Structure 1
Amino acid sequence: MNENKIKDLLRKMTLNEKIGQVTQLATPFFKGASDQGQITGPMKDINIPENMIQLAGSVLGASGAKETKLIQKQYLQDNRLGIPLLIMSDIIHGYKTIFPVPLAIGSSWDLQLAEKSATIAAKEAAVSGVHVTFAPMVDLVRDPRWGRVVESTGEDPYLNSVFAKAQVRGFQGTDLKHDHERVASCVKHFAGYGAAEGGRDYNTVNMSERDLRESYLLAFKAALEAGSELVMTAFNTVDGIPASGNKWLMRDLLREEWKFDGVVISDWGAVKELIPHGVAEDEAEAAAKALSAGVDIEMMTDCYANHLQSLIESNQIDTSLLDEAVMRILELKDKLGLFDHPFRGADEKREAEIVMCPEHRQVARELATKSCVLLQNKGGILPLHPTRKVGLIGPFANNNDILGPWSWLGAKDDAVTLYEGIMKKVPASKLVVANGCGIDTSCEIELAKAIDVAKQSDVIVLALGESSDMSGEAGSRANIQLPHVQLQLVEVLVELGKPTVAVLFNGRPLDLHGVVDKVDAVLEAWYPGTEGGSAIADILFGEVNPSGKITMSFPYSVGQIPVYYNNYNTGRPKGAINAQERYVSQYLDCPNEALFPFGYGLSYTSFDYSNFILSSDTITPDKPLTIKVKITNTGDVAGEEVVQLYVRDLVGEVVRSLKELKGFKKIYLQPGEEKEVTFMLTEEQLRYYHADLSFYSDEGKFEVYVGPNSRDVMALSFELRKTKGE
């Protein structure tokens, strides 16, 4: 369908038919739905007239080829103009085959596998009848108290941007109209949601426009450059105005400056929430503000459905605002090929063949191994030898709650537990198991059993962590240590003097005191997904060498938060004046730095960095800088290393970060093998937002760093020179 045909269709639509197109409802509202669908927000106070339900242009949370086809068929029977329904869902880190959570995927630093996981998720979703996924979430996050850190790839703008592009490519491919094994991507949450005050979900965000542009918007722009078809608004305020009613954010920035011409959709209930925010007196004003600001689809509130007609008929808002929103929605439906193929991709036979197929599970297992991060390994206790008797203890010893939040259709029963994974590595006589405690409940009988199991064992593997509902949306926590009963379990068992390994299942960086200071080794497994137990066992027994690196700093104490690597210096930086000086920027009772810094992760081998050289001591707009470093595997086993490149602008018009990630390369080395890694740094990569928000670089001195993480780096200097007028 060409643009003229879409415009002709728009002209034929009644006002109510147009209002229907900008209204999205959850599955239970639709004919043909056999279950409650996906409910991701409050269902109360939805007062949608029956005629508007029949006209609603998109459905949230439907799934399964049989059901989606039935919903679409019955919808089209009632639709005068034959406009098909858009079916949208939260396919965040897998449809049925569940991959590690996004924070874990970020820790893999593996863009190809990240893209492949999104491709598989799209394939399973599309064959089940889904057209749009609400992913990726690209919010930059510096506060691990916020539960939705689990959906982010971390604290760095550059890294989030490259992962955003990879995931959009994976979901969408290159031809949505003809490739019916892909889905349209909706990037979220626009914008600044990851900076909610106090790490409390849905809370206020307050920052300068310069900080917003420099840190929080880059990944959104990258996703749109990769072709993301939709943008979802955030729940929070931006400069005092809620995102879903923020005209500057959506009209001026997104539409005019960035030239985005796709669909903007609110988050669940966000339009009506303009009222409690205090910027709309009632539903009518909320509808007017949201549509005027640029929200094309209202998700799961009734402001548009009940008030747009009267607002337009009374000339309070111009009908052209509604027409442009509907036009974008129709164009999206056309891009997906729905006018020609309303049952696009949905196929029960193919669904049975490919959803959760062995090939998909194998990719999930590989990505889970790449996502695990070895944080500590005193005395080289890992990897374990299969002849040693393992005492597997803890609330996650045989727990299948390892899929994590937003694993919508992922079945816990399909997940491989840690016990099941280890059982494949050792004889049954070499593995004994006990819970010791619940996730946040104690049991004297279980504790006694755990002590007995530990005494029988040569090595203790403690499986600890958060239940999946302790993170994710509405999963904010003020105390980000492990629950007290688990810390007590650790304390009791380490007194036995046995070598002890902690495996952590969680959705955020934790305060690990009571663990790292007690045990010998710590493996951060996150929520590893369907094949989690197998992947972790692969690492514990040395079949896979861990290569993950954290993409969000682990705090020494919750009192430091936010703590992140790319922070600014102060006028009184600690250590710059005198090590014993009191009047510097510091805590009296803990370090300034993170416990584990951004980019950190250990291996079963060791890597030596040497021969760090620059092609020149100057860089110009037409002469990039070539940076080389030699990496040698000095250990006894093959392994992967993530070589990281950072830059610091020593003097700027505004304060610059102490380090900024500018590139990384993941290399594989056999024992004794060495490789020269080369980076290219351009003048464009040195640009930043100045006081007047203009974007350019400054002449002057810079430092460049390479290393295995943001802390342990080698440094060299160079100078940027620009000819006059540049």
Structure 2
Amino acid sequence: MEVIQLTEQQLISLMKQMSLEEKIAQLLQLATPFFEGAKSEGRITGPMASMGITENMVRNTGSILGLTGAEEVISVQQAHMRNNRLGIPLLIMADIIHGYKTIFPIPLALGCSWDAELAEKCAAIAAKEAAVSGVHVTFAPMVDLVRDPRWGRVMESTGEDPYLNGEFARAFVRGFQGRDLSGDSDRVAACVKHFAAYGAAEGGRDYNTVDMSERQLREYYLPAYKAALEEGCEMVMTSFNTVDGVPATGNKRLMRDLLRNEWGFDGVLISDWGAVKEMIPHGVAADEAEAASKAIHAGVDIEMMTSCYVNHLQQLVESGLVDEALIDEAVLRILKLKQKLGLFDNPLRGANVESEREILFCGEHRQAAREAAVKSCVLLKNEGVLPLAKEQKIALVGPFAQNGDILGPWSWLGSQEEAVQLYEGFTRIVEPLQVAVAEGCGIESASEEQWKAALEAAQNADVIVLALGEHSDMSGEAGCRADIRLPEIQRQLIAALKPLNKPMVAVLFNGRPLDLHGIHDQVGAVLEAWYPGSEGGTAVAELLYGLANPSGKLTMSFPYAVGQVPVYYNYFNTGRPQGAPDAQVRYVSQYLDIPNEPLLPFGFGLSYTSFSYGEISLSSEQMTVEQPLHIKVRVTNTGNQPGEEIVQLYVRDMAGEVVRPVKELKTYRRIKLMPGESHEISFSLTERQLRYHHADLQYISDAGEFAVYVGPNSRDVQELRFTLMK
């Protein structure tokens, strides 16, 4: 069906019919209970009750947060269209982060697949389920670069590398939005977040201060946001943190000068929940009026869940402190997005009760979730314990043996009751009599009965599989932890079972890299399952029994101890690096009690087969601006089963104008090899890939010597040198 498109002039004409009060209300986003037709209508409690929201404001509000389900969306939108004087539909937004009803692995896990096409497919399915349920916009992808696993929101990111994060940012946007939002009601508009540098919050503590140089901001933290916008992302969300001493939501230099003017972004900019008013406790606004003024001058179009705009902008305009043109440009951007989504033609868009029943959590989507979970798990250790044999007797022990809390934070309509638990996954492969299951302990506590049952189950087993991890509330927003070890009771469970001298496998369900002491050193195999989603139990069981071969690789380093944090692969060398030939033993940059290096590096991940790398070769020892360098390496599957390897290429500028990282990922290749099969990988490296932000922020390369590294992870690499001639 052809969608009726309003021209920009028609949208401007519509805006001119609006009163100043109506225009300002378009900039307000409220939660579902404020709206007629919602099941939770009138349940306005706590902070919402003190917002000073009038019935007239609700009638003219531009967008709604958290409404979902086709029936309720239709009810609310129809009521709103009756009540709104000019018939301007609501934008309906929600946090569809890694699935709607069908839940996929958390983004950090999807990052570990190193498979952008897979991420795009997952986002497209999430969009389809959300759209048929009436959602127009998802607050995703989150592309914040993360280096501190104490921060709970690392689970929403794809890791510590700017290049890889950018590749996934593009993939998620393509998946959510497709090619034509107005013509494809199975897609939703994407909102990249959190702009900017939220992942660098001090101490890994949510909402905390961020302070860094502009060069570091541009070099590491901004590229993934820019990648999402280059892919056509329709919206941007401000971050809670400060940037150069100014909260992002009121940061004119960041939002107006960089995002709007330098990058040319003319889409909708929305605050995070309450972030406009939070400029008051930040200490940069004396009151709500000043907060509103700073946000609108910074270019924030939509204020989420505070009422500074609707309560103060009109007076600010009338007193001459805010130019009405700022409000007009924000309203026009919002109207353009509604037009692009086809809402003026069909305010209900894709919402369809019958189709919703058929599409949500359907078999095809669940199969995709299983495949994603298989590719996202990372085998961290294996001393010949895995894969399990079907004839072995298994003791499946631990708080996640029969636990549906494997979806992770931001699982929207995902159901823990419907998630495939690990024990269920086992019994789809082997007879239940082969698996003795016992909880052993809770996530943070244990009873004598639990302890006794675990020991009894383990006594008669050939292999003990420990299902361990964090409760989902231990990750996600406000899920920050100073101690990133597994809870002590779970480590005690391992210690109690160790004297049985049975082979032990640890399966970890969690949302961050952990300090693995008491686990990695005590068991024969470790599989990092993350929060694997709705089909997690099936996927993990298939991996443990060898019906699938692990292929995931870490996109965030696992620290040796929390005292190293932040620890990441692309660090700067020092003037006194550890291990330098002429260095004194003590007076180098090091810890006295732990290694400098992480326990497990970026890019690391094992397989049930083995891969050997031939010697790498360069097409030339010199590169020019016009002539790229070609790097070749032959990779062979030297094991006895098919497997996928992720071949990684890194570069180092040996003498830059400013200090450069010891390694930087530039590209990678996924290959699938049968036993005995070899494949020659050829990478192309261009001068453009060697550019970086210099001290004056010019984005250029340096003539001189470079190192190129190729290998299965950032640590175990071969090295050759070349020279860039300019």
User: What residue in structure 1 maps to residue 558 of structure 2?
Assistant: 554
Which segments of 5 or more consecutive residues in structure 1 lack a partner in the other structure?
none
Alpha-carbon distance in 1 for matches of 2:43, 2:480: 21
Match of 1:422, SS state, is: helix
Alpha-carbon distance in 2 for matches of 1:246, 1:626: 43
User: Is 2:6 aligned against 1:26?
Assistant: no
Letter of the aligned partner of 1:70 in structure 2?
S
Q: Is contact 1:40–1:268 with CA below 8 Å preserved after alignment?
A: no
Deviation at 1:451, TM superposition (A): 0.5
Q: 2:325 aligns with which of 301, 313, 320?
A: 320
User: What residue in structure 1 maps to residue 586 of structure 2?
Assistant: 582
Q: 1:387 aligns with which of 391, 403, 406?
A: 391
User: Is 2:661 aligned against 1:657?
Assistant: yes
- Are the structure 2 counterparts of residues 201 and 576 from structure 1 closer, same or farther at C-alpha, using a change threshold of 3 Å? same
Alpha-carbon distance in 2 for matches of 1:44, 1:591: 53
Alpha-carbon distance in 1 for matches of 2:134, 2:672: 39
Alpha-carbon distance in 2 for matches of 1:582, 1:331: 63
User: Is 2:120 aligned against 1:115?
Assistant: yes
User: What residue in structure 1 maps to residue 3 of structure 2?
Assistant: none
- Are the structure 2 counterparts of residues 310 and 550 from structure 1 closer, same or farther at C-alpha, using a change threshold of 3 Å? same
- Are the structure 2 counterparts of residues 45 and 588 from structure 1 closer, same or farther at C-alpha, using a change threshold of 3 Å? farther
User: What residue in structure 2 maps to residue 524 of structure 1?
Assistant: 528
Q: Is contact 2:34–2:42 with CA below 8 Å preserved after alignment?
A: no
Alpha-carbon distance in 2 for matches of 1:365, 1:125: 19
Which segments of 5 or more consecutive residues in structure 2 lack a partner in the other structure?
1-5
User: Deviation per CA, 1:69-101, whole angstroms, max 9, x where unpaired?
Assistant: 111000000111111110000000000000000
User: Is 2:52 aligned against 1:47?
Assistant: yes
User: What residue in structure 2 maps to residue 398 of structure 1?
Assistant: 402
User: What residue in structure 1 maps to residue 477 of structure 2?
Assistant: 473
User: What residue in structure 1 maps to residue 73 of structure 2?
Assistant: 68
Q: Which structure 2 residues correspond to residues 304-319 of structure 1 after superposition, within 5 A?
A: 304-319=309-324
User: Is 2:279 aligned against 1:279?
Assistant: no
Q: 1:82 aligns with which of 56, 79, 87?
A: 87
Deviation at 1:611, TM superposition (A): 3.4
Letter of the aligned partner of 2:197 in structure 1?
G
Q: 1:463 aligns with which of 462, 467, 489?
A: 467
Alpha-carbon distance in 2 for matches of 1:43, 1:356: 33
Q: 2:491 aligns with which of 465, 487, 492?
A: 487
Q: Which structure 2 residues correspond to residues 292-303 of structure 1 after superposition, within 5 A?
A: 292-303=297-308
Match of 1:564, SS state, is: coil
Q: 1:571 aligns with which of 571, 575, 582?
A: 575
Deviation at 1:45, TM superposition (A): 3.6
Q: Is contact 2:34–2:41 with CA below 8 Å preserved after alignment?
A: no
Alpha-carbon distance in 1 for matches of 2:34, 2:362: 32
Q: 2:638 aligns with which of 634, 638, 662?
A: 634
- Are the structure 2 counterparts of residues 128 and 461 from structure 1 closer, same or farther at C-alpha, using a change threshold of 3 Å? same
Deviation at 1:39, TM superposition (A): 12
Alpha-carbon distance in 2 for matches of 1:674, 1:42: 62
Match of 1:611, SS state, is: coil
Q: Is contact 2:649–2:709 with CA below 8 Å preserved after alignment?
A: yes
Q: Is contact 2:33–2:44 with CA below 8 Å preserved after alignment?
A: no
Deviates more, 1:44-53 or 1:340-349: 44-53
- Are the structure 2 counterparts of residues 451 and 39 from structure 1 closer, same or farther at C-alpha, using a change threshold of 3 Å? farther
User: Is 2:655 aligned against 1:643?
Assistant: no
Alpha-carbon distance in 1 for matches of 2:583, 2:704: 29
Alpha-carbon distance in 1 for matches of 2:507, 2:477: 24
Q: 2:451 aligns with which of 426, 447, 464?
A: 447
Deviation at 1:678, TM superposition (A): 1.0
Alpha-carbon distance in 2 for matches of 1:313, 1:663: 54
Q: 2:335 aligns with which of 330, 333, 340?
A: 330
Alpha-carbon distance in 2 for matches of 1:257, 1:84: 32
Q: Which structure 2 residues correspond to residues 635-714 of structure 1 after superposition, within 5 A?
A: 635-714=639-718
Alpha-carbon distance in 2 for matches of 1:201, 1:36: 31
Letter of the aligned partner of 1:566 in structure 2?
N
% identical equivalent positions? 67
User: What residue in structure 2 maps to residue 604 of structure 1?
Assistant: 608
Q: Is contact 2:576–2:583 with CA below 8 Å preserved after alignment?
A: no
Alpha-carbon distance in 1 for matches of 2:224, 2:542: 33
User: Deviation per CA, 1:346-393, whole angstroms, max 9, x where unpaired?
Assistant: 111111111100000000000000000000001x11000010000000
- Are the structure 2 counterparts of residues 158 and 415 from structure 1 closer, same or farther at C-alpha, using a change threshold of 3 Å? same
User: What residue in structure 1 maps to residue 259 of structure 2?
Assistant: 254
- Are the structure 2 counterparts of residues 38 and 298 from structure 1 closer, same or farther at C-alpha, using a change threshold of 3 Å? farther
Alpha-carbon distance in 2 for matches of 1:100, 1:550: 14
User: Is 2:181 aligned against 1:176?
Assistant: yes
User: Is 2:233 aligned against 1:220?
Assistant: no
Q: Is contact 1:37–1:62 with CA below 8 Å preserved after alignment?
A: no
Letter of the aligned partner of 1:634 in structure 2?
T
User: Deviation per CA, 1:31-82, whole angstroms, max 9, x where unpaired?
Assistant: 1111389999964643212211121100001111111011100000011111
Deviation at 1:445, TM superposition (A): 1.1
Alpha-carbon distance in 1 for matches of 2:628, 2:540: 42
Letter of the aligned partner of 1:178 in structure 2?
G
Q: Is contact 1:375–1:602 with CA below 8 Å preserved after alignment?
A: yes
Q: Is contact 1:41–1:268 with CA below 8 Å preserved after alignment?
A: no
Match of 1:28, SS state, is: helix
Structure 1 runs (4+) greater than 4 angstroms displaced: 36-44
- Are the structure 2 counterparts of residues 42 and 592 from structure 1 closer, same or farther at C-alpha, using a change threshold of 3 Å? farther
Deviation at 1:429, TM superposition (A): 1.2
Q: Which structure 2 residues correspond to residues 122-137 of structure 1 after superposition, within 5 A?
A: 122-137=127-142
Q: Is contact 2:137–2:188 with CA below 8 Å preserved after alignment?
A: yes
User: Is 2:353 aligned against 1:363?
Assistant: no
Q: Is contact 1:415–1:529 with CA below 8 Å preserved after alignment?
A: yes
Letter of the aligned partner of 1:464 in structure 2?
L
Q: Which structure 2 residues correspond to residues 145-294 of structure 1 after superposition, within 5 A?
A: 145-294=150-299
Deviation at 1:495, TM superposition (A): 1.4
TM value normalised by structure 2? 0.98
Letter of the aligned partner of 1:575 in structure 2?
G
Match of 2:615, SS state, is: strand
Deviates more, 1:548-557 or 1:612-621: 612-621
- Are the structure 2 counterparts of residues 235 and 320 from structure 1 closer, same or farther at C-alpha, using a change threshold of 3 Å? same
User: What residue in structure 2 maps to residue 14 of structure 1?
Assistant: 19
Alpha-carbon distance in 2 for matches of 1:33, 1:535: 38
Q: 1:375 aligns with which of 376, 380, 383?
A: 380
Deviation at 1:606, TM superposition (A): 0.3
Q: Is contact 1:25–1:300 with CA below 8 Å preserved after alignment?
A: yes
Letter of the aligned partner of 1:703 in structure 2?
A
User: What residue in structure 2 maps to residue 427 of structure 1?
Assistant: 431
Letter of the aligned partner of 2:552 in structure 1?
G
Q: Is contact 1:41–1:269 with CA below 8 Å preserved after alignment?
A: no
Match of 2:300, SS state, is: coil
Match of 2:120, SS state, is: helix
Deviates more, 1:236-245 or 1:26-35: 26-35
Alpha-carbon distance in 2 for matches of 1:367, 1:42: 39
Letter of the aligned partner of 1:146 in structure 2?
W
Alpha-carbon distance in 2 for matches of 1:464, 1:639: 27
User: Deviation per CA, 1:128-169, whole angstroms, max 9, x where unpaired?
Assistant: 000000000000000000000000000000000000000000
Letter of the aligned partner of 2:66 in structure 1?
G
Deviation at 1:227, TM superposition (A): 0.4
Alpha-carbon distance in 2 for matches of 1:49, 1:477: 40
Alpha-carbon distance in 1 for matches of 2:643, 2:43: 41
Letter of the aligned partner of 1:65 in structure 2?
A
User: Deviation per CA, 1:404-432, whole angstroms, max 9, x where unpaired?
Assistant: 00001111111000000001111121110
